Amino acid sequence: MLPGHEGFENTLRILYGLAVDGLYNDKGLPKSLVHLAVCAIMSDTRLPGLGNLLTPVFQLLAVFARRQGIEAQLLNRYCHCAQVLPVGHS
């Protein structure tokens, strides 16, 4: 079975890893707004209502994170796993 949305799956891995590493605040969110922005954009998340006004801010932060190598660091740290091959391939 192929992943439905690779960005969403990677976001789950990153968020879980950040939580395990103690990088969440008391409200259950990543302490770093940049990490939160990367995950929101990577997973194609849209906040409802007035939260939708944060989308352009998250997009800018995600671009910053990509240029600074932060997105790559998160992917390398938390998403470095074996590739799942389709059935019948080895």
The helix (H) or strand (E) run that includes residue 35 is helix 33-42
CA torsion sign for 37, 63, 5, 74 is negative
As a whole number of angstroms, the distance between CA 35 and CA 53 comes to 18
Residue 81 has pLDDT above 80, yes or no: no
- One-letter amino acid for residue 38 of the chain: V
Torsion of CA 5, 42, 67, 27, to 10 degrees: -150
Please report the pLDDT score of residue 47 as a whole number.
85
Identify the three-state secondary structure at position 32.
coil
Give residue-wise pLDDT tens across range 9-61. Answer: 999 999 999 999 999 999 999 999 999 999 999 999 888 998 899 999 999 99
